[in-house]
Structures are given as C-alpha cells and as structure tokens.
A and B are shown apart, each in its own frame.
Chain A
Amino acid sequence: MKTAMAIAIVVFAGSAGDVSLTKGMKQVGVISVIVPRAFASIGKRVLTNKFFLVGVVFMAVSFFAFLAVLSWADLSLIIPATSISFVVSTVGAKLILKERISRLRWAGALLVSLGVALISLP
C-alpha cells in the first residue's frame, strides 16, 4: 500500500510537473541553444516564470517520492509501474496544453509505455 501510494505520487506529480513546465517554457519562448550569451536573460525569464516554478515543485515531489520508493522497492517494479506516466502526460498535454495529438502519436505513446513496462519487468 505504501508502495502503491508512492508510485501514484511519482506518476501524477510527474505528469503535472511536465504539463506545467511545458506551459512555462512555451511562455518563455524558444530557447536558442546556439547563443550562449543569451543564457543570463533566458535564465531570468525562466526562473521567474510561475508555471515553470510550479512544474519544478511538482517534479521535485515526484523525484523524492521516486527516491523514497527506490530505497525499499526494486527498480524492476517501480519502472514498469510508473511507465503509465507516458500516457498520463500525453492526456495532460491534450486536455490542458491543447496539443493536437494524432493517432500515430497516441499509438507511439502507448507503445512506449508498454515497452517501458516490458523492458523493466524482473
């Protein structure tokens, strides 16, 4: 039960974090990885973005739940169980971020989720 709770926190906090982070980064605008001197101003814009910060908090919650569960359960149980987050995040991307997700992309997300589960089974 403790493990199930922790895994649920890993999945849902992680997906909420992904969605919020994406919203924040979209508000910040396209980051050019080619121009290093823009890093300071981009960094400031990113770190003062509300959605980015909320996303980071959610991800931190997910991360620490992951760390905690890692200390008492096997990685071969945790990874398959949390692989559903690929689907949960895609649902979040559609409902909250209004991303247009083609059938091909849904199929891709589902296959990835199944594959991740399969790959890490004991």
Chain B
Amino acid sequence: MKTAVVLSLAIVAQAAGNVYLSKGMREMASAGQISGDDLPLILLRGIESPTIWIGTALLLAFFLLYAAALSWADLSFVLPATAFGYVVNVACGYYFLNEAVRPARWTGAALISIGVFFVARSGPVEHGSEKVVKPDRSGQ
C-alpha cells in the first residue's frame, strides 16, 4: 500500500511538472531567447520564468517520492510503474481537455497499462533479500 500511494503521488507530480516545464521552455523558445546551444544562457533565462519554477518544483516533489520508494523497492519495479503517468496524461486529455486521441495513442496506453500490470504482478522484490514479496497487498 505504501508503495502504491507514494508512486501514485509521484506520477501526478511528474505529469504536472512535465506539462509546466514544456510550456515554459516553449515560451522561451518562441520569444527567441534561445540562440541554440548555450546551456548557461538557457539556465539563466529559466530562472526568470514562473512556469519553469512551478514545473521544477513539481519535478523535485516527484524526485523525493521516487527516491523514497527506491529506499525499499527495486529500481526495476519502481521505474516501469511510474510510466503509468503517460496513461494518466492521455486519459486526462481525453476526458478533461476533449482531445481527440488517435488509435495509436490508445494502443500505447494499453501497452503501458499491461506492462505496468505485469511489473506489479512481479512484486516489489527487496534488493539483496531472497524473499519475494507477493503483489502489492501489504505494501512492500
């Protein structure tokens, strides 16, 4: 249960963070502030953008939750599980933003869902222990 809760929060934070960050970077790019390949300039400009601050804060929250989960669960469990965020994004776009979702995207969402289901069924095995914990009933 603990793993499920922490990873759910992580997924939400990451999805929202990516949206904000992407928006912020595009705003900068369209304002012609990025000349191409100088990173320091991109960093400096980024500091001035509230959108990028919000995105970065959300991604930091994601990172803290992700690191916490990694303290007790396998990387090979936690990483694919967080990919469920992509499915959340597609579903949100469809239900809340009335986006037209093409069949290829639904197929991708289905593949991710099946993949995450497989990974969840494989159980969060603790590193170094020989004990295989059953799928997420006790939480870890």
A residues neighboring B (CB under 8 Å): 2, 18-19, 21-22, 25-26, 28-31, 33, 46, 52, 59, 64, 67-68, 70-72, 75, 86, 89-90, 92-94, 97-102, 104-105, 107-121
Contacts and interface: CB of A to CB of B under 8 A. Distances in A.
B2 A33 contact: yes
Interface string B78-113: 011001001100100000000000001101111111
Contact of A86 (B29, B34, B80, B113): B80
Contacts, number: 159
Contacts of A108: 80, 114-122
Contacts of B87: 119
B5 to A, nearest CB: 8
Interface of B: 2, 6, 21-22, 25, 28-29, 34, 36-37, 39, 42-43, 46, 63, 67-68, 70-72, 74-77, 79-80, 83, 86-87, 90, 104-105, 107-122, 125, 127-128
Nearest to A109: B80
Given A70-B25, A86-B79, A109-B115, A104 B70 contact: no
Contacts of B39: 64, 68
A83 to B, nearest CB: 9
Contacts of B110: 115
B72 A31 contact: yes
Nearest to B113: A115
19 contacts: A2-B37, A22-B70, A26-B127, A31-B71, A59-B63, A71-B25, A71-B34, A72-B34, A72-B36, A86-B80, A101-B76, A108-B118, A112-B116, A115-B83, A115-B86, A115-B114, A119-B104, A119-B112, A120-B86
A19 B75 contact: yes
B79 A104 contact: no
B76 A90 contact: yes
Contact of B119 (A67, A105, A118): A105
